[in-house]
Structure formats: structure tokens, C-alpha cells
Structure 1
């Protein structure tokens, strides 16, 4: 089977071997079998945050399709979700049952097992806000472990699972609040709802508003919208030292996010010196602003390419029909080169790329 049929970007060559795991036990067995074979392997959930090369993947592709949402028997906000459960179904379940904490994450495609790997976030919420632990099949030991959220090194669109800890997420545990409303924590969402920032709004209203905002950006899967044939935001917002941010034009959006420490280089064998400088502040920039002001507008495409910047949102690269993975990669590299030339900043790709590099 072509992997383009299993990904939202609709690119990717054939899989060497495809295994569908519809239950937790099947997922464990499939992973252990692939590991014992010595072949290359990968786990594919909803296929929404991955770009696979035209050559495909010459190894075992395990599709995590195990589904299920279990709420604690005490009626509280503890929820355990199987890895293959579509993420938006979890949000719908939470909102329908008066559980607050993930309503602003409505409409994000993909599976629940992938959510902590990427530490998904939108409109003022991240899964790290509510994640308690993950059930994880460890590649090194072959054993199932319960890993607390504070051991996952959850950061902006990253985690230790994305950074190299190998294995398979089997399930996630969330702790949600039992209340019918949630505080609006993002300016754009507050504007859409017509309320001041921080206002408590019924969960259903938050969900409806977020879905409408995402649809307007082509960020909700829709066969009638060519802009939705993508993997969502292709680049993360850069996080830089405040001194770097000061060199940008005054109208460049920026959001202070806390203190950071500069990198320290010490020759091998020498003791680390005592630090005597003040910590510098970190600032998050807008990748969309950087792209647009590097001269790349909505709908931009390289000559002869079927990959294009979304006509609604400059952070998304879309497949306009029969685009190849190489065309997607060429456009991504072009965007990176333009932003680097204009601002001296290298944009990082958000999706996982298989079979090539950006």
C-alpha cells in the first residue's frame, strides 16, 4: 500500500510491510515482532503530522488503531484513552461530559497516542496542561511502563518521545476538571467569542469557535477544501533570546515566555566555571509573520510544483493534487532559505519527515 493513502499530506511511497493493530495487545505484539526481526519500523497513527518520502518506507509500518475512552468510576475527571483513538473524538467526549481542559484543542487531527509526543497545543492550551502519564512499550526493555508526564520533558511541540526515546505509546491518561465552562486563554479565541480574555465560556461554545477558526485557516480535514490537504502548521514558531528578537522590525509579533540560559561551551576535561551573568529572557516569534515578510505569500508555489503555501494560512504547505514528497520538501527548503536570508533565523519543521531531511 502507498503511504500517501494513510497520511493527510497525501504523499509517500510504499510500505515494506503494513500491520494494523486494532487492540492494545495487538499493538504490543506487532511492535515486539518488528523489533525482534531487526527490520526498520515506525508507528503511524492518524498520519497528520508526517511527511514520507516518495521512496516510501522499506520496513514495518504499524498502524495504531486501538480505540477506547475510559472515564474513572468515581465520576471525576480522570480519563484513559487508547493510542489509536482520534484526538478530536476525545475532545468531543470531554466537552459532552462537562470535562474542561482540552476544549481549545478541538479539531486537531491525528491520534491520541501521538498527542504527547508532539505536546500538541492551540489557542492557549497544551496537552501538557492535563496529561498525567502515558502507557509506553519501551524499545530497550520490551516492557510496558507507566511514565509520569513530568518525566517526558514536555516543551513547545516536543517531548523526550519525539527527541529520541524509542518505543510505542499505548495509552494516555488525562486529568480534566469537572466543570461546564473553561477560561479563554488566547486573544484570537476571545475575539472570536466576543468576550474579554480570561472569561469563563461554556465548553461547547469554545469548541464551536475553535472549530470555526481552524476551518477558516484550512486546518480541519475537509475533502472540499484543498487547503486542508496538508499536515497542519509546517513550521514551529521560533523561540529565541530577547537580544535576537530586538533585531527584528518593531512590528514583528513576539511573546515573552520566561527565562533561559545561554549555551556554554567548555573544552573537554575542564571544570564548568561558575556562572556570573544574568539569565536572559526567551521570546517566541511568529513563523507566519517571518514567512510573509520574507516575501512568501499565501498561495505561493514554485514553478511547476503541485505543492503550495495554503491560500488561507502561510504556516501550512498543501498538496494541490498529485504533489510529490520532494516537491513538498523543495518548497519547505525554499521557505527556510528565504527566512534565513531575510532575518538570519532557521525555521524548524514541525512534522516528522521520513526518508529525507530538511
Structure 2
């Protein structure tokens, strides 16, 4: 850690002290993440403009100083103890709306649900199904955030990137990000930093098509209503209600929300694996449960299973393990939570137990969604 601190003092501290849009702050990753877990970085720099983010990342890279770019902290699992890197907080948060064209542009540091709320309040539709998702706007294209039948890929037009490998700052078309289920070619690479996003929304006040069964049912959408839409304000209110019921809207007073959201992605498997899983479920839980197993079409003739459903059927119910410092949420099995006194290792051990249990029971490997720093599954 000492050589890193010396490099910082020699090459970075003086630059920071001369800028109004960069602040040196004293914090831990436990204070920066929704899991409330993680140790202390060597230093933390808060950047309040896009230019500041570019300049600071460029400066740190020039002197080979390790860094971690942090947005809303809702998708990070970070080791305990001293973390030998500089945390760069993306705190630029301006949002620009053009109600006539339906174009929305947001700085990467804008709180995502603020982006959604503002768009809906201004009569724009398209992202209301993504209400209540914690984190920042800049994180949404990285893993193609999605919920209730909508993905950011449906509305994303461009992303402004700073490419760390080439030093180029540019706007990139969404088509160039290779967006798919919880994936973009930015994910896990650290080659580029998202500075801003542009979305194309509806300006008629109506929602995206309601294609998700649970949401459609509570909004009284008939199975015969193809591409049904409702007022975006109505859909947002219902999505927030559903997410809160599942503990998926962050609340500092509710430990069920001290999580990284959905911890595992829904596995995409072959039809043969689906049949194998059904057979196992029937042996363990009966024919009716096997017949009711959630299974959805995916690309290439493959099928998407429900990770939460598999976790429960493998023997890990809500709240597992009872009285553990890290537990599955009491509201949703897909969220791994810190009950207030957990360490990162407690959470990792729980994730490992659940992942291994599902694989042993069904032969299906669950992939974690969060970014891991200083620790691995």
C-alpha cells in the first residue's frame, strides 16, 4: 500500500487540490455500496463532471496506479480490509430531456431511479419498468439492465465512453455494444468508462409494451392484448410496489435491501438440460411442481430458467440460513443480503453454498451478476 500512496502523493494529489470538480474524500467501500460491505481504498476521489472523470482516470492510468470506478455501488462485492487501489466516484449527475423528440441524456453518475422518475413525470415512457433499480445511469448499459420485460437495450441509442486502452473519448452506438441478456462488451473488461448515456423514449406518456406476466396481470392486461400499453405513471407505481414487496428497492432501514439486487443471472440452458431439471424436480417435489417450473424461450433455441426458483427447490428458502450474518432475503431468494454485521467473506461463503447446492442438485451452474474486487467465488 505504501508505494501506491507515494505514487498518489507524487503525481495526483497536487492535481486534485487545484480542481473544483474533484474532491478527496474519506470513506470505505462499506459506505459506498448497497451491500454495506468492503474495506477502505487507499484514497477516494469524487468527480463531479465528465471531464474530471476522464482526467483523473487518465492520470491514474498514466502512472500505473490501480483504480476502481464507482457509480451507485449497487453491483459490487469488495473484499474486507485495506484495498490497494484508488476509488474514483462518478458523481456527475445532470439529466437533459427533450420532450419533443423523446431524447434523454444523462450523466453516468445520475441516480438511475431519478432518471426514470424524471422521464415519467415529464410524460415520457419506455423505462418505467426499470423503476426502483438501484445504482447509476452509467451502469445500465454495462450489463444491459433489465426488469419486467424491458431492457436498457430497448431504448439506448448511444453511450459516451472514455476508452482507457486508447485514450479516446467518443460516443458509441448502442449497436456496437453487443447487448444481450445481462451482457455488453463493456462488462468485466475495465477497458472503458461510461460517461453518459442517450435514450430514445416515447413522448406520448405511454409505457413500453407490457410483456411480463406478473406485471401484466396486476395491471389487468388480457392475454389477447398484444403489445398492450398503459400510462407510464401507472406502470411505474405498480413496478415500485412489486419491487418493494420483494425487497428490491433500496431502503437503508431494511436489511432485506442491503444487497446487490439479483445476485445470480437466470441460467440459459439447452432443452435437454430443461428436461433433466424437470425430472429432478419431479423426484424431489412432485409432478405438479415440475410442470409449473418457470421456463422461457431464449435465443438460439435455448431456454431461460428462473434462478430464484432453482435456489428454492435446491433447499435454500427465503431467509436462509436462519440467524446468519449474511442471508438470502426474507422477501426474495435471488437477493443475498447483509443483515448488518456480515463481512464480505460471510457473503461469499453464502453465495458459494447456494451456487454449489444448485449445481449439485440440478447440474445447472449459476453465474453471479456483481463485479468482484479482491475476492472471488
What is the TM-score when the length of structure 2 is the normalising length?
Answer: 0.86
Q: CA deviation at 1:165?
A: 5.5
Matched, 1:60 2:86: yes
Matched, 1:20 2:61: no
Aligned residues: 335
User: Aligned to 1:230, what secondary structure does the other structure show?
Assistant: coil
Q: CA deviation at 1:219?
A: 0.5
**Do the aligned residues in 1 keep the contact of 2:256 with 2:330 (CA within 8 Å)?**
yes
Matched, 1:33 2:49: no
Query: Which position in structure 2 is the counterpart of 1:272?
Result: none
Query: Which position in structure 2 is the counterpart of 1:241?
Result: 270
5+ residue gaps, structure 1, are: 260-280
Higher helix proportion: 2
Matched, 1:168 2:197: no
Taking the aligned partners of 2:116 and 2:76, their CA distance within structure 1 comes to: 22
RMSD: 1.4
Query: Which position in structure 2 is the counterpart of 1:125?
Result: 150
Q: CA deviation at 1:224?
A: 2.9
**Do the aligned residues in 1 keep the contact of 2:259 with 2:336 (CA within 8 Å)?**
yes
Equivalent residue in structure 1 for 2:326, among 307, 311, 326: 307
Taking the aligned partners of 2:67 and 2:253, their CA distance within structure 1 comes to: 34
Deviations 1:41-62 (A, max 9, x none): 1100000011111135211110
**Do the aligned residues in 1 keep the contact of 2:265 with 2:369 (CA within 8 Å)?**
yes
Equivalent residue in structure 2 for 1:110, among 135, 148, 154: 135
User: Aligned to 1:337, what secondary structure does the other structure show?
Assistant: helix
5+ residue gaps, structure 2, are: 1-26, 279-289
Alignment of structure 1 residues 1-358 onto 2, 5 Å: 1-72=27-98, 75-164=100-189, 166-182=191-207, 183-197=209-223, 198-249=227-278, 250-251=290-291, 252-259=293-300, 281-301=301-321, 305-358=324-377
What is the TM-score when the length of structure 1 is the normalising length?
Answer: 0.91
Q: Which moved more, 1:335-344 or 1:95-104?
A: 95-104
Q: Which runs of 4+ in 1 moved over 6 A?
A: none
User: Aligned to 1:207, what secondary structure does the other structure show?
Assistant: helix
**Do the aligned residues in 2 keep the contact of 1:3 with 1:14 (CA within 8 Å)?**
yes
**Do the aligned residues in 1 keep the contact of 2:157 with 2:198 (CA within 8 Å)?**
yes
Taking the aligned partners of 2:271 and 2:115, their CA distance within structure 1 comes to: 37
